[in-house]
A and B are shown apart, each in its own frame.
Chain A
């Protein structure tokens, strides 16, 4: 569930208030939004994806609070990671994501072909997404 609205990083744009599908945040005049209804959070990570400055953190536990510390999350490299992996940052865009996906697919297919030639049967199939 949503655990952190970083007071230092937040620019008070209220984007998270607007986009949360379960209306978890309340906006605060001249301040960072507050987590007003944490129990309604469905742990979809979409507030993090939409936050333009990586000011939010959603912990993994969907069924209860799990207090976490911003510095520890940052130290583990998890801060803002979902938005990055989604291809929603200037440094790694959706075009970059699609390109990397294509390249990985090509390399895996080639490795597969090599394996097939060496052992006479396919090593594995392409992962299916659903």
Chain B
């Protein structure tokens, strides 16, 4: 018996926001400030969900001055395979410059002076505090918050427009339905349940729901982002690995893992494929107790995870590994088709890591700045656009006849089938995406082998999901979600026969100028891709800017 068919909570709204991180929070705030009646539903808790709350990240808050913005736009332009768009950077930077200071204002803190050279937010205020301030603002604006309420499927009207969503309140033990004029997916990326700092709420749910509603994804081939962590630890979030010295098991320094102050993930992966890798924070400046204290205070979670593991990072070496962060610090996500952060489906908007970040990151990671800027920009843009769309449709929009479009992992297609074991499916997917010799260093043969295994898993989940408890109901759907995300990532990776940004094809090591396009990807049983042109912009790189070279 599926718990989803029981009586539950039913609400109507102008705008439904799905997600509980900063993009979702910004979207809810922006829509409510524009007069929309907003409901925000999150799998976890609005304030702790997602990568940012757990880990902290900074945005680029830069005044509209070309000399200050050009370095931001060009910092990763070449590394991103020339797929980012400078007009999108301007749009996102404008909104971030306008909105970021509000966090300090609402929190009762002194607003940093961004006038002179720009700065960040999130880096000064920690993630948990930033999210606490945003939640307080959301409550003040009268937004209805549904915590511990994962969305499981989108609702669609007779014309195919998205008109809300349905999910389950796991602590109330009842289904929820929100009929809305517009829906914003800000439910995060997919880190394939690797436990990378804060990412286990990010199971790619928004990607699956979008494709089921007829939408498309993009840049899923740029999804294999990994980050270093101590072997016991989930704490991948730290720029501190840029400042470390790397050693092999014989205590010899491994050269070439950090260049120009940035770690080179693929070089670390190669070293790890050869043997154990150890690190120590031992650059000369870290002898200064003030520097040590600054590092501890800047990343208290990082130091908590080491200290509790009995490690003394300033005095002793410790062993590291690479953890998969997937699309969270990768690029791929829901395809955006207009300046409103709209998708190919009417009534559906995407923000934050659920959306593709190709527009500003290109094929390279948006970690350490761009991603949080995207979150602020896309959250506010989608919130305002969704509120305007709802206004246009009028109050009758939430009265529409709708139906759920959730399929695999939600609907029982074969009543006689044995329910699949969700954890075993997740493990099967992880076996294909965790190993970097498979997912980072790609060959056609390897991709086809992984796709074959994922295809077999996809067949195994078609019959019947286990839905007897809230946990089973949710986990059965999550297993399908992470499986679907892995299939799209590998399928797009098969199609892009070149190396560009974080997509590394061992059998096509060069970048092919003829493949400077985005790859749209989608499909459920049958997958497809389609090249999409990058709009040509006249981009003159200022002479004074030197391109950093690290991939």
Contacts and interface: CB of A to CB of B under 8 A. Distances in A.
Nearest to A64: B232
B195 A62 contact: yes
A18 B45 contact: yes
Interface string A80-105: 01100111100000110110110011
Interface in A99-130: 100-101, 104-105, 107-108, 111, 123-125, 127-130
Contacts of B310: 60
A125 B124 contact: no
B133 to A, nearest CB: 10
Interface in A10-53: 17-23, 37, 40, 42-46, 49-50
B56 A19 contact: no
Contacts of A128: 239, 242, 261, 368
A78 interface: yes
A95 B126 CA distance: 12
A101 B298 contact: yes
A129 B298 contact: yes
Nearest to B470: A23
B325 to A, nearest CB: 12
B382 interface: no
B21 to A, nearest CB: 10
A82 B128 CA distance: 12
Given A95-B109, A98-B109, A123-B284, A78 B54 contact: no
A70 B301 CA distance: 20
Contact of B128 (A49, A81, A100, A127): A49
B261 A100 contact: no
Contacts of B293: 100, 104
Interface residues of A, number: 47
A23 B300 CA distance: 23
Contacts of A130: 57-58, 237-239, 367-369
Interface stretch (B24-32, B92-100, B196-204, B441-449): B196-204
A108 to B, nearest CB: 5
Contacts of A78: 304, 307-308
A72 B272 CA distance: 34
Contacts of B369: 130
Interface in B239-290: 239-240, 242-243, 261, 283-285, 288, 290
B128 A86 contact: yes
Interface residues of B, number: 69
Nearest to B232: A61
A42 B48 contact: no
B87 interface: no
A69 B126 CA distance: 29
Nearest to A123: B285
A22 B44 contact: yes
Contacts of A44: 48, 53-54, 197-198, 234, 301
Given A60-B306, A111-B288, A124 B283 contact: yes
B294 interface: yes
A56 to B, nearest CB: 13
25 contacts: A17-B171, A20-B48, A21-B50, A42-B54, A44-B48, A44-B197, A46-B54, A50-B48, A60-B308, A60-B309, A62-B233, A82-B301, A86-B128, A87-B129, A94-B109, A94-B125, A97-B297, A98-B125, A100-B297, A107-B290, A123-B284, A127-B243, A128-B242, A128-B368, A130-B238
Interface of A: 17-23, 37, 40, 42-46, 49-50, 58-63, 78, 81-82, 85-88, 94-95, 97-98, 100-101, 104-105, 107-108, 111, 123-125, 127-130
Among all A-B residue pairs, the 7 with the closest Cβ atoms:
A21-B44, A130-B368, A124-B285, A62-B234, A85-B300, A60-B308, A60-B309
Given A98-B109, A104-B297, 15 more contacts: A18-B148, A19-B47, A20-B48, A21-B45, A22-B44, A23-B171, A42-B200, A45-B304, A46-B48, A86-B129, A94-B109, A95-B109, A98-B124, A105-B294, A127-B298
